[in-house]
Structure 1
Amino acid sequence: MVGGWGKMPKRKINEIEGAEKKYRALIQTRNQYNEAARLIREERNEINAKKRELLQEIKKLREEKAHFAEEVRKYKKIRDDCRRRARELIDFKRKNLKKLPKNIEDEMDRISERIRELEYRQETTATTLEEEKALIERIKSLMRRLNELIELNREKMEIDAKMGEIDQQIDSLFKEAEEAHKRVVEYYEKVRERAERIEKILHEVSHLIVEVNKLNDKYRELREKADYYHKRAMEMRAKIMEIKRAKREEYEKMREMVDELNRRVREALMDEEKIEKVVDDNIKELLKKGKITIGG
């Protein structure tokens, strides 16, 4: 009897099942590598986010450092200018004091005393005309000198008053310089603190960069493996599709042969001997091509 004409040979079925099993295994392996790569990417992105935060902090610290450094320069200039002006005033004071005669008041006292003595002598002592004349000239000379000293003393008092003002200016300048120096020290300390923090953060960023590079290498390695297994899976998928396509073609050819058999049977329906010959010929052809099997 004739049977099993629509069944695929067991060898073909096993080939498809084996290929599909390999395909599923390749897809599973690919997905495992993709998942591992995804986890690595997330870890890398977290580190990159942390790195960006640190770089923003460095930017802020550098801006603060630049601001405080500018304050240091500003107060250094104020301090140095105040010290320079104070030294100039000290030099001015010293030079002007050198110009003044010493012990003006003592000399004024001595001359005044001498004038009084001469005037007393003029009044109480009998002198000749020549002696009187000489005495008067001497008194006049001393009076001129006394007037000069009085003028010098007035100038000295004015200069002394100015020196007092200069002393106040010098004190004020030194105080301002001292305050400016305190600001220099204060802002310099802030500059130093920012510089140390920047250096520390840069060290941390450097460490993160090393970690990111390692993760990038690991990510590329996993992606390459995932791509490799994806390529193999697609090749296996193409192979499965080719096997199934060949199966469909064989099935269509088998149907055509069966249809032809039926047609010829119908034509020879009234001739039993001819029917048997047609059937035998087609069955032999199907058996030869492995499209059907003979079962009991």
Structure 2
Amino acid sequence: METRLRRMREQRNDHNENARRAADSRDSVQEQSRELRERIKERLDEQKEVRARAKLHQAKRDEIQNQMRELITQRRGKRSDEGTKSVVIQLSETIGEIDRIENRIMTDGSLSLDKENAMLKKLKSLIAKRDELMPAAEEFQVIEIDLGDMEGSIQLLRAEADSEHKAMLDANKEADTIWEDVKPMLEERDFLRAEGDRLHNAFVSSREAADGILSPKIKVLLDQVNEIRDELKAQREERERLIREHNQSVRDALKTPDEDEELASSLADELLEKGSITLGGTRTVDDPKPHRGKKRKKSRKIGTRRGKRD
């Protein structure tokens, strides 16, 4: 039974070791994947900035082209609808009207008071409109438009539109190059993700196999083995106790009175109680006083015999 349990423990340890190795490999792969995702994010953020720059160049190009079309329309003598004019054209026309009114007020001395007041009122309205248009026009106003020289302004706008279009194409090309760099990184990311999932599944499988060894039946078997071990341990301790007690009793039996104070005391007590003690054979040593009297009497008889000679 113990051999079977030992074999099961070894199998469980093997499964746990496999699970540990799988977990270490999984963590290493996940760390590589995390670092790779950070690099991908940096490159994609860079690409996003480039795309935003391309869109800005595109918006400027479209606005310049819109201004150029309006100037061409005005050059041909057609009126543009106020609602379709670009912000820059509206601002240029407003500034030109303001300059014209201010110049007339300062130079025309024949203006009546009512006419001058009307022009001042219109000037105030135009200044308010200019202040309203300027923030919106600052983003797209690349060149100053001279409404007095439409042909020159159109040529300048066309050149600037071409420049913005080229900048847009260059930015999009740069963004495409970044994407080409990112694509293999995405493939590696997907591979690391799949490898991490595989190692995690291997980890889970090994842990389940290790836990499966500790099934209810195995736990019952372990309890039985532990119970037998406890019983054997108790028997061994009992045998050791009996052996110790036997050895101690033998040692106590072999002790002499000079080695055992308790034995010496018991013999002394026995001597005092009986008044005599037998040493060796059957001869008895009596009380000291009667014994001394008999010896003196016998010695006198022996002295009398010594006086006779044959």
Q: TM-score range by the shorter chain?
A: 0.5 to 0.7
Q: Within 2, Cα distance between the matches of 1:45 and 1:255?
A: 55
Q: Within 2, Cα distance between the matches of 1:86 and 1:250?
A: 109
Among 226, 231, 249, which residue is 1:239 paired with? 231
Q: Within 2, Cα distance between the matches of 1:240 and 1:158?
A: 116
Match of 1:220 in 2: 211
Pair 38,249 (structure 1): closer, same or farther in 2 beyond 3 Å: closer
Unpaired runs of 5+ residues, structure 2, are 78-145, 254-277, 283-310
**One-letter identity of the residue aligned with 2:236:** K
- Return the offset for 1:89: 1.0
Q: TM-score, normalised by structure 1?
A: 0.52
Match of 2:30 in 1: 55
Q: Within 2, Cα distance between the matches of 1:77 and 1:92?
A: 23
Q: Within 1, Cα distance between the matches of 2:179 and 2:46?
A: 9
Match of 2:14 in 1: 39
Q: Within 1, Cα distance between the matches of 2:226 and 2:17?
A: 27
- Return the offset for 1:256: 6.1
**One-letter identity of the residue aligned with 2:156:** E
Q: How does 1:257-296 map to 2 (within 5 A)?
A: none
Q: Secondary structure at the match of 2:149?
A: helix
Match of 2:170 in 1: 179
Task: Work out whether 1:93 is the aligned partner of 2:68.
Answer: yes
Q: Within 1, Cα distance between the matches of 2:241 and 2:147?
A: 131
Task: Work out whether 1:200 is the aligned partner of 2:194.
Answer: no
- Return the offset for 1:81: 1.2
Q: Within 2, Cα distance between the matches of 1:248 and 1:53?
A: 56
Between the two structures, name the one with larger relative contact order (CA 8 Å, sep ≥ 6): 1
Pair 182,221 (structure 1): closer, same or farther in 2 beyond 3 Å: same
Q: Within 1, Cα distance between the matches of 2:48 and 2:236?
A: 84
Task: Work out whether 1:72 is the aligned partner of 2:47.
Answer: yes
**One-letter identity of the residue aligned with 1:43:** N
**One-letter identity of the residue aligned with 2:165:** F
**One-letter identity of the residue aligned with 2:202:** E
- Counting aligned pairs with the same residue, the percent is 12
Comparing both structures, which one devotes a greater share of its residues to helix?
1
C-alpha RMSD of matched pairs (Å) = 3.9
Q: Within 2, Cα distance between the matches of 1:188 and 1:248?
A: 82
Counterpart contact for 1:29–1:229, Cα < 8 Å: no
**One-letter identity of the residue aligned with 1:45:** R
Pair 64,234 (structure 1): closer, same or farther in 2 beyond 3 Å: same
**One-letter identity of the residue aligned with 1:48:** A
Q: Within 1, Cα distance between the matches of 2:60 and 2:248?
A: 117
Q: 1:159-215: CA deviations, max 9, x gaps? A: 323322222211111111001111222223344443333233222222222211110
Counterpart contact for 1:47–1:212, Cα < 8 Å: yes
Match of 2:59 in 1: 84
Counterpart contact for 1:78–1:177, Cα < 8 Å: yes
Match of 2:202 in 1: 211
Unpaired runs of 5+ residues, structure 1, are 1-24, 103-154, 261-266, 272-296
Task: Work out whether 1:160 is the aligned partner of 2:128.
Answer: no
Counterpart contact for 1:79–1:180, Cα < 8 Å: yes
**One-letter identity of the residue aligned with 2:207:** N
Counterpart contact for 1:34–1:223, Cα < 8 Å: no
Pair 47,246 (structure 1): closer, same or farther in 2 beyond 3 Å: closer
Pair 226,190 (structure 1): closer, same or farther in 2 beyond 3 Å: farther
Match of 1:10 in 2: none
Q: 1:52-92: CA deviations, max 9, x gaps? A: 12111211221122112212221221111111111111111
